[in-house]
């Protein structure tokens, strides 16, 4: 996210002679939350802006200065990516692809190679490095707590060939076996369900309001509105309640990985595109 909004907020706060803590007290927010907004690490919600305008007696200046809501995925996801690094709990719903933070190198390379119009190899490699760097949140053995809710299509849609798929599904199984993530599969037999319209990422923090990121074709949006986050959480909870239990989900992942392994031609290797996460 651009720091323009954060710069404007800081100017208004300092003009009022308030510290971040003093502003937080008046606006009924946390100091850390305000610090993140000023530093450009947090996208302010409409409610944030309203409270700040009231606290600083700025009319609706900060509300009008909010970043455009309808933005393309690349711009909007940058803010979501930053929040991903701060979250204590992340709940992902994936409709077509394995969530980015759980992708292997081979799988991520295959996904990023589907851009149309095509991008240069240099640009693709730059995006790959960024994608794999997100997986570093897994280096901490406990935080963030990650739940991955996968539509069965994620398992069945072959991305990058059978070897890449086998490696990717095995990677998910290993993360779950060591207790690093929880993974559940929404089976095709469920039919129509409330999550079919887009992917969802829900995030909770130690000292900030929860946030949600939703993405459809070419468009993504980060949500701070409590009512929207609550609605998306309800949809996620519905999906989780109808998904296969952990044990059955892992069994399906293992069986599907073995099916892909049987289709790998003897002597053929796709390891140039694999290699696990960063």
If you write DSSP's letter for every residue of 88-138 in order, what string do you get?
SEEEEEESSS--GGG--HHHHHHHHTT-SS---HHHHHHHHHHHHHHGGGG
Spell out the residues 6+ positions from residue 85 whose beta carbon is closer than 8 angstroms to its own: 137
> Mean pLDDT across the chain, nearest whole number?
85
> Among the ranges 143-147, 214-218, 265-269, which has the highest mean pLDDT value?
143-147
Greater confidence (145 vs 268) lies with: 145
Tell me, what DSSP letter sits at residue 40? T
The crossing angle, in degrees rounded to 10, of helices 31-38 and 20-27 is 120
Residue 73 pLDDT > 60, yes or no?
no
Residue 117 pLDDT > 80, yes or no?
no
Tens digits of residue pLDDT in 97-108: 999 999 999 999
Residue 20 pLDDT > 60, yes or no?
yes
Tens digits of residue pLDDT in 238-250: 999 999 999 999 9
Give the model's confidence band at 121: pLDDT under 50 very low, under 70 low, under 90 confident, else very high. confident
Greater confidence (223 vs 105) lies with: 105
Burial zone of 179 (CB within 10 Å; 0-12 exposed, 13-18 middle, 19+ buried):
exposed
Query: Buried b / exposed e across 244-255, counting CB within 10 Å, b at 16+?
Result: beeeebbebbee
Global confidence as pTM: 0.73
Spell out the residues 6+ positions from residue 217 whose beta carbon is closer than 8 angstroms to its own: none
> Which tokens in the block code for residue 212?
């949600």
Residue 68 pLDDT > 70, yes or no?
no
Residue 271 pLDDT > 70, yes or no?
no
Give the model's confidence band at 70: pLDDT under 50 very low, under 70 low, under 90 confident, else very high. very low
Residue 207 pLDDT > 80, yes or no?
no
Q: What is the pLDDT of residue 264?
A: 86
């Amino acid at each position: 996210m651009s720091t323009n909004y954060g710069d404007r907020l800081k100017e208004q706060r300092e003009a009022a002679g308030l510290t971040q803590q003093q502003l937080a007290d008046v606006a009924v927010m946390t100091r850390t939350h305000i610090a993140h907004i000023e530093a450009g690490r947090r996208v302010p919600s409409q409610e944030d802006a309203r409270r700040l305008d009231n606290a600083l007696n700025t009319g609706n200046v900060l509300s009008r200065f909010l970043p455009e809501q309808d933005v393309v995925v690349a711009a909007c996801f940058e803010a979501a990516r930053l929040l991903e690094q701060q979250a204590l709990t992340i709940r992902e719903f994936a409709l077509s692809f394995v969530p980015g933070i759980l992708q292997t190198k081979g799988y991520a390379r295959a996904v990023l190679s589907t851009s149309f119009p095509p991008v240069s190899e240099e640009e693709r490699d730059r995006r790959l490095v960024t994608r794999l760097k997100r997986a570093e949140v897994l280096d901490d053995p406990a935080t963030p707590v990650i739940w991955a809710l996968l539509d069965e299509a994620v398992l069945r849609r072959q991305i990058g060939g059978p070897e890449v798929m086998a490696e990717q599904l095995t990677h998910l199984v290993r993360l779950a076996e060591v207790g690093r993530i929880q993974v559940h599969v929404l089976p095709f037999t469920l039919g129509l369900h409330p999550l079919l319209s887009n992917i969802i990422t829900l995030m909770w923090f130690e000292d900030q309001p929860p946030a949600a990121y939703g993405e459809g074709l070419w468009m993504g949006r980060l949500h701070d509105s409590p009512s929207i986050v609550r609605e998306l959480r309800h949809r996620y909870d519905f999906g989780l309640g109808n998904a296969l239990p952990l044990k059955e989900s892992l069994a399906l992942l293992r069986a599907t990985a073995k099916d892909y392994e049987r289709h790998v031609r003897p002597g053929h290797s796709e390891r140039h595109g694999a290699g696990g996460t960063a």
